Amino acid sequence: MILKIRKMIMAGLAGVALLISALPQTALAHGEKATEPSIRTRSVQWYDLTWSTEKVKVNDTVTLQGKFRLMSDWPDAVAKPTLVFLSTGGPSAVLTRVETYINGLPAQQSFKNMVLGRDYDFKIIMKGRIPGDWHLHPVLNVHNAGPIIGPGAWVSVEGNAADFKEPITTMTGTKIDDLENYGVARAQMWQAGYALIAVAWLIWWLRRPLLISRWRVLEKGREDLLLTRTDDKVAAGVVVLLLVVVIVGYIKIGSEFPQLVPLQGGTVYAEPLPEDSRGVAIKLKRAEYDVPGRSMRLSVEMTNNTDQPLGIGEFTTANIRFINKKLPVAVAAINPKYPKELLPGNGLVVDSSAPLAPGEKRVVMLDTTDVAWEVERLVSFLSNVDSRTGGLIFFYDPQGKRYISEVDGPILPVFKKTI
């Protein structure tokens, strides 16, 4: 019997161990792969992102900056960016946001009336708070649409969390050594005081017989027995006490802090970055996704409106950068610290290495073959109601100047190469 029980216990422990091993492990990203492909490829395209450092100590800062393009072919099912808020994505407040800017304007508040088809510059300064390895993303929160997450890179925070401090000097010159804990004791005192009043009020009613006795009184139609003259006096006393506490507290806080600034609820408008009137005009002729080949192929009509020959250097979509490795200037433009998982090894394949001559119009075939389409969960755009895709194409002239053009349009699933 004992042996049988022991076997049952061992089997149970083995089952628990198997269940634990099957549980999801620590997340390595923050939701970008769960976002609909139509949103990732046709709403916000992030580019030129840099992280100032890979390691910071507690209280030191890391700067995340770059640009984003609000795509002209914004999905119809997604709310337009008439109200947005720039922030970061991470596992809670492991880094503290110190400063945020959009086009050089402070971005503590929300921005309104963002312009589709235009570019914006941003910078976010974060301070290390909790030691660990954290994935740091930019996030553009769009009202009624939700967060649209940009590329993420690992940032290590070293040191002791207890050493974290957030000192500031107020407008009146008051120095606060640690903003994180400032006023916490005062708030806890007020909460405890109101809690004591609430508990005393409950005890006053719970000290007497409860449900059954009261039900019997109500059944006999004697509601007048449930409330006594003393109950009325206690209730009036509680109301007076609360009024006195609120009024005295208001007067005391007003005298201690005579200059108060309300929470800011306004919005800011930022002009988009200047638009280059030249560049390359794009017209998508055909787009298809080779399902078994894991390949996105684009047939694009390009017209070079500049006075320089242009080489096709990059196609970027949904935070993934396909680089034309046969164009040295495009390869040189890659930041060596950029997340490697967002740079597919096969890169961008162009049917011709000849640059677009000034004024030339040509149909160019672009091939982006990589398992990244599956890994990043982007192939479900084939089942969307509009079945459209989009992205940015980067062109470079011989001096290294870059031109950016949007490409978007319907996409077809295929099971063999047709373009």
Look at 168 and 122; give whichever has higher pLDDT: 122
What angle separates helix 184-206 from helix 229-256, to the nearest 10 degrees?
Answer: 180
pLDDT of residue 381: 67
Instruction: Give pLDDT tens digits for 46-91.
Output: 999 999 999 999 999 999 999 999 999 999 989 999 999 999 987 7
pLDDT of residue 35: 83
pLDDT of residue 144: 94
What is the rounded average pLDDT of the residues 278-303?
93
What is the rounded average pLDDT of the residues 265-279?
88
φ/ψ of 184, rounded to 5, equals -65, -45
pLDDT of residue 218: 81
| Stretch(es) of the chain classified as CATH 1.10.287.710 | 184-256
pLDDT of residue 37: 87
pLDDT of residue 7: 47
Instruction: Looking at 75-208, list the stretches that DSSP marks H as alpha helix, in order from N- to C-terminal side.
Output: 184-206
What does CATH list as the number for 184-256? 1.10.287.710
Report the C-alpha dihedral over residues 98, 102, 108, 113, rounded to 10 degrees.
-160
What does CATH list as the number for 32-171? 2.60.120.570
Instruction: Give pLDDT tens digits for 21-41.
Output: 444 334 445 567 778 888 999
The mean of the pLDDT values for the chain is 88
pLDDT of residue 26: 40
Closest to 283 (Cα-Cα) out of 306, 298, 301: 301
Q: What is the DSSP letter of 414?
A: E
Residue 39: Cβ-neighbour burial (10 angstroms; 0-12, 13-18, 19+):
buried
d(CA 232, CA 249): 26
Over the range 113-150, which residues count as b (16 or more CB within 10 Å of their CB) and which as e?
ebeeeebbbbbbbbbbbbbeebbbbbbbbbeebebbbb
pTM (2 d.p.): 0.81
At 324, the pLDDT band (50, 70, 90 cuts) reads very high
d(CA 193, CA 190): 5
Examine the pLDDT at 281 and tell me if it is beyond 90.
Answer: yes
pLDDT of residue 68: 97
Angstrom distances, CA of residue 83 to CA of 46, 97, 99, 263, 396: 18, 20, 20, 18, 33
φ/ψ of 195, rounded to 5, equals -65, -40
Contact 100, 86 (CB under 8 A): yes
CA 144 centroid distance within chain: 14
By mean pLDDT, which of 30-39, 98-107, 392-401, 402-411 is the weakest? 30-39
pLDDT of residue 173: 85
Angle at the Cα of 42 (from 41 to 48), degrees rounded to 5? 65
What does CATH list as the number for 280-414? 2.60.40.1580
